[in-house]
């Protein structure tokens, strides 16, 4: 296991109830001690201080003895909402509370001492480079900010947290005559916020000894970075007419900032959304930001899934952000342990001490331009202290083992599905001469929803890198993977790459409208284009892998706005149609398969209803009730089953949420992981290899699937697949008990089964005993057929009944 490039411990100043030297040192030593089992695996340790909201940077005047308005509150420090049902204003969104009686007064000089103490003590304890970071947040949550909400509210162009609540990176300042570190005579009228913040940050970071600056909550990436609405999408229509002008405003922020603060490293939170949605709503030019030589780290996974369990959005958003990267090719993973502001600690309450938000994102990987699998090489923890300034040791004691285990078994080859993400194409659709921003919006929100409904998608590669791989003859990279990608434009490089991939024996699952598809692709799918239909549609499933006692609804609401148009494909009769939709006696294909190729038109079963973040309406599209309306993204799982992998669900009612599942590869094993919102649902799994039998589990075999009732958060290794008609098959670890043997697995409950065994990638000989007896030195030894094909590298054993003991 390689060392981590960096581990960041994020913390507020709340643990420093006293700023006396000995008290400060004691807090720092305790923090480092608690996290030392993970820090010893790092090349560098960082401490990111949530001093306030960044207003201490904006108001800095180089007076080190001036007190800081620091983040000593629980709840919104600058409330912007009238919270429904709270006439007395007791909600944390209505007002803030001091986190303790008589919190310490902290000056800039005290903060400088704390920064120096962190670097000194960390160096003494670990002998590693120690960095200390400062934070800038655009919002109203963390500390009182007269600068943002009284003196210069003109910089708050976004309504994310209420009217004029979030500063926008491309705002400009009105002039004033106050004294600032970088502007001793005051701010000139019309000064770009990037210029002002950059110069102020350079002075504060240098004067107080900080090494880097963290830009929080989407700052630097657009206007409404928490919401799917923005300056180009108001929930009712898209308008890309200002896309290029907004792009230049965003890039100008980065240029202005870097002109004033050229040396300090920048790390970023990024948005809660995806690259395609950010482009469609806010014209966020992520490609140009990455390519701009701005000395910045790419965003980690969003912590929003901790708040609303939308792991589809977390995974899709993160993969879309890492499909391409800034120079260096590094990217971090971030885990939400505590919230130092809002009176909750996600590990202990939101997650219920369940590691699904470790298991799922840590199964994610990307393929770089050389077709090498890359995983996160830095880990960030938000935060190591809670809202009351406590650092409960229980949290690192419980979290670190899960992190270490996931790192030890991280992906080392592409997963069974690889998302070929149109990073360049989505930018062209936004900033080109004929904008089509509804397509990036639709595509990313649709994949978000498909993951949320169980599509096991956790490997990503950009279309640019995928095309490079095929041109370089690296098709073997995808030998065991099905690619998932939007329908490419006719005669585009991606269309040619797709045809080459399919002709070479590859499999692909396509999604999205066909109106710009190449005629050759339409011919392969045996489809023609007809007039579009939309609105309330009758749904007919010709192939469904799920078992639902009350059956899925037979109607669907297809909103052209949310779905880049309507249904236009007409089946000509030769391909296999999996589902159709109909309205006004017109029928259209919704999903088809043709050999190794499948296509799903896709419906985002959601719409806008208005409202704000607090009401829960308006922040994201509201999903249609799955008990009343068919969820259009389910067809992705149904079509995937036609290509091999079947992830079916058995449940009582269509309204029950489906399990979220990922599958990744490590050391020739398959690692399955998931989050089960409703533990009464059953997951039924079958891959082309057979029914997966997890190590340490029992699987009932029904219709060739391994059936499991799984806990809320789960993750299992799988090295055994069986093909048999029925029964219960188990796989358990056994002691090796023989010199030269590393490991043994016992597989039992077999009935005339074909077994595929995936041993570890080493040079050890594999021994398999059928129905033998301890100590398994003698047979019988069944014939072993060593295979290396599109199912991977495995050993096949045929017509087995009883048990096998496999060792290597």
pLDDT in tens, 675-703: 999 999 999 999 999 999 999 999 999 99
Residues with Cβ within 8 Å of residue 182, at least 6 apart in sequence: 196, 199, 200, 202, 203, 260
Q: Which residue has the tokens 């958003």?
A: 317
Q: How far apart are CA 145 and CA 69, in angstroms?
A: 8
Contact (Cβ atoms closer than 8 angstroms) between residue 133 and residue 383: no
Give me the pLDDT at residue 618, please: 59
Q: How far apart are CA 246 and CA 431, in angstroms?
A: 10
The tokens for 456 are: 């096991």
Map 492-521 to HEC letters: CHHHHHHHHHHHCCCEEEEECCCCCCCHHH
User: Reading across the β-sheet that carries 373-374, which strands appear in turn?
Assistant: 373-374, 365-367, 459-462, 417-421, 482-486, 507-511, 597-600, 586-594, 576-583, 535-541, 555-558
pLDDT > 60? residue 462 = yes
Number of residues assigned to the chain: 808
Domain 6-417 identical in fold to domain 418-651: no
The tokens for 42 are: 């790092």
pLDDT > 90? residue 159 = no
Give me the pLDDT at residue 89, please: 83
pLDDT > 70? residue 562 = yes
What are residue 238's DSSP bridge partners?
233
> What percent of the chain has a predicted confidence (pLDDT) above 70?
99
Q: How confident is the model at residue 551 (pLDDT cuts 50, 70, 90)?
A: very high
Q: How far apart are CA 480 and CA 211, in angstroms?
A: 44
Would you call the peptide bond into 275 cis, given omega within 30 degrees of 0 as the criterion?
Answer: no
Give me the pLDDT at residue 81, please: 75
708-766 per-position pLDDT tens digit: 999 999 999 999 999 999 999 999 999 988 888 899 999 999 999 999 999 999 878 99
Cα–chain-centroid distance for residue 25?
36
The tokens for 507 are: 């499999």
pLDDT > 60? residue 474 = yes
pLDDT > 90? residue 160 = no
Cα angle 602, 607, 612; round to 5: 140
Contact (Cβ atoms closer than 8 angstroms) between residue 626 and residue 658: no
H/E segment holding residue 13:
none
**Residue 46 DSSP SS3:** strand
CATH architecture for residues 6-417: Alpha-Beta Barrel (3.20)
CATH number corresponding to 418-651: 3.40.50
Q: How far apart are CA 808 and CA 768, in angstroms?
A: 9
604-619 per-position pLDDT tens digit: 999 876 655 555 555 7
Radius of gyration of the chain (CA): 28
Q: How far apart are CA 416 and CA 478, in angstroms?
A: 9
What are residue 649's DSSP bridge partners?
683
Residues with Cβ within 8 Å of residue 327, at least 6 apart in sequence: 293
Quick one: average pLDDT of 159-177? 93
Q: How far apart are CA 421 and CA 439, in angstroms?
A: 13
Contact (Cβ atoms closer than 8 angstroms) between residue 207 and residue 225: no
Quick one: average pLDDT of 793-808? 97
Q: What is the residue-wise DSSP string for 50-90?
A: E-SSSHHHHT--S-TTSBP----EES-SS-----TT-TT--
The helices-and-strands tally (H runs, E runs) of the chain is: 19, 40
* pTM exceeding 0.85: yes
Summary mean pLDDT of the chain:
96
- C-alpha dihedral over 128, 129, 134, 137, to 10 degrees? -70
Give me the pLDDT at residue 423, please: 98
- Helices 463-471, 423-431: inter-axial angle, 10-degree rounding: 130
Strand locations in 611-686 (E): 622-623, 646-651, 660-666, 669-675, 682-686
251-278 per-position pLDDT tens digit: 999 999 999 999 999 999 999 999 999 9
Quick one: average pLDDT of 519-536? 98
130-151 per-position pLDDT tens digit: 999 999 999 999 999 999 999 9
518: left (phi over 0), alpha (psi -120 to 50) or beta: beta
Contact (Cβ atoms closer than 8 angstroms) between residue 602 and residue 415: no
585: left (phi over 0), alpha (psi -120 to 50) or beta: left
Q: How far apart are CA 39 and CA 5, in angstroms?
A: 10
204-235 per-position pLDDT tens digit: 999 999 999 999 999 999 999 888 999 999 99
405: left (phi over 0), alpha (psi -120 to 50) or beta: alpha
- Within 10 A of 115 (CB to CB), how many other CB atoms are there? 21
616-673 per-position pLDDT tens digit: 555 788 899 999 999 999 999 999 999 999 999 999 999 999 999 999 999 999 999 9
Domain residue ranges in the chain: 6-417, 418-651, 667-807
Q: How far apart are CA 304 and CA 390, in angstroms?
A: 23
């Amino acid at each position: 296991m390689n060392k981590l490039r960096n581990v960041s411990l994020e913390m507020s100043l709340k643990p420093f109830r006293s700023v006396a030297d000995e008290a400060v040192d004691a807090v720092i030593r305790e923090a480092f001690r608690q996290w030392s089992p993970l820090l010893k695996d790092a090349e560098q340790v960082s401490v990111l201080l949530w001093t306030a909201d960044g207003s201490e940077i904006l108001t800095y005047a180089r007076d080190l003895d001036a007190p800081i308005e620091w983040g000593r509150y629980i709840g919104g420090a600058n409330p912007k909402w009238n919270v429904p049902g709270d006439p007395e204003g007791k909600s944390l969104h209505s007002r803030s509370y001091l986190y303790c009686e008589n919190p310490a007064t902290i000056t800039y000089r005290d903060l400088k001492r704390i920064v120096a103490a962190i670097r000194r003590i960390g160096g003494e304890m670990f002998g590693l480079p120690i960095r200390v970071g400062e934070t800038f947040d655009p919002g109203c949550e963390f500390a009182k900010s007269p600068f943002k909400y009284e003196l210069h509210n003109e910089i708050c162009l976004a309504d994310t947290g209420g009217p004029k609540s979030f500063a926008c990176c491309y705002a400009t300042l009105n002039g004033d005559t106050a004294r600032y570190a970088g502007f001793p005579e005051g701010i000139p009228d019309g000064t770009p916020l990037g210029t002002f913040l950059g110069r102020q940050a350079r002075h504060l970071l240098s004067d107080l000894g900080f090494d880097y600056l963290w830009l929080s909550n989407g700052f630097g990436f657009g206007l409404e970075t928490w919401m799917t609405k923005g300056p180009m999408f108001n929930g009712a229509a898209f308008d890309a007419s200002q896309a290029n002008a907004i792009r230049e405003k965003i890039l100008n922020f980065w240029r202005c900032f870097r002109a004033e603060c050229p040396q300090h490293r920048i790390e970023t939170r990024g948005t809660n959304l995806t690259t395609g949605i950010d482009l469609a709503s806010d014209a966020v030019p992520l490609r140009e930001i990455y390519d701009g030589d701005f000395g910045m780290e790419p965003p980690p996974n969003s912590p929003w899934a901790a708040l609303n369990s939308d792991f589809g959005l977390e995974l899709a958003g993160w993969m879309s952000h890492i499909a391409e990267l800034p120079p260096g090719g590094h990217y971090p993973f971030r885990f939400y342990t505590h919230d130092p502001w809002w009176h909750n600690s996600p590990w202990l309450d939101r997650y219920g001490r369940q590691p699904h938000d470790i298991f799922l994102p840590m199964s994610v990987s990307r393929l770089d331009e050389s077709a090498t699998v890359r995983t996160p090489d830095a880990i960030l923890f938000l935060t190591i202290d809670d809202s009351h300034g406590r650092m409960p040791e229980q949290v690192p004691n419980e979290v670190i083992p899960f992190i270490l285990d996931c790192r030890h078994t991280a992906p080392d080859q592409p997963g069974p599905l690889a998302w070929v993400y149109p990073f360049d194409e989505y930018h062209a659709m936004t900033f080109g001469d004929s904008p089509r921003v509804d397509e990036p919006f639709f595509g990313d929100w649709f994949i978000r929803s498909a993951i949320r409904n169980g599509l096991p998608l956790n490997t990503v590669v950009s279309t640019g890198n995928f095309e490079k791989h095929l041109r370089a003859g690296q098709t073997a990279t995808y030998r065991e993977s099905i690619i998932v990608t939007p329908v490419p434009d006719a005669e585009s490089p991606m269309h040619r790459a797709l045809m080459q991939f399919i002709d070479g024996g590859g499999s692909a699952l396509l999604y999205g409208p066909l109106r710009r598809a190449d005629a050759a692709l339409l011919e392969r799918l045996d489809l023609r284009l007809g007039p579009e239909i939309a609105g309330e549609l009758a749904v007919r499933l010709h192939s469904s892998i799920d078992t639902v006692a009350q059956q899925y609804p037979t109607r669907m609401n297809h909103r052209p706005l949310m779905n880049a148009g309507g249904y236009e494909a007409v089946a000509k009769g030769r391909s296999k149609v999996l589902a159709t939709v109909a309205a006004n006696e017109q029928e259209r294909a919704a999903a088809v398969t043709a050999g190794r190729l499948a296509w799903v038109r896709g419906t985002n079963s959601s719409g806008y209803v208005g409202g704000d973040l607090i009401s829960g309406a308006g922040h994201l599209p509201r999903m249609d009730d799955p008990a009343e309306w068919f969820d259009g993204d389910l067809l992705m799982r149904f079509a995937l089953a036609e290509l091999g992998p079947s992830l079916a669900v058995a449940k009582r009612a269509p309204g029950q949420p489906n399990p979220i599942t990922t599958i990744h590869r490590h050391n020739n094993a398959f690692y399955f992981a998931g989050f089960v919102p409703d533990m009464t649902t059953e997951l039924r799994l079958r891959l082309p290899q057979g029914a997966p039998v997890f190590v340490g589990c029992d699987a009932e075999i029904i219709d060739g699937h391994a059936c499991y009732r799984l806990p809320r958060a789960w993750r299992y290794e799988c090295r055994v697949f069986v093909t048999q008609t029925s029964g219960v098959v188990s796989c358990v670890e056994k002691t090796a008990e023989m010199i030269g043997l590393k490991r043994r697995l016992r597989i039992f409950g077999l009935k005339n089964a074909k077994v595929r065994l995936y041993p570890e990638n080493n040079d050890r000989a594999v021994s398999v005993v059928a129905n033998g007896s301890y100590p398994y030195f003698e047979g019988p030894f069944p014939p072993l057929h060593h295979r290396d094909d599109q199912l991977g590298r495995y050993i096949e054993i045929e017509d087995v009944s009883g048990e096998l003991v496999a060792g290597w």
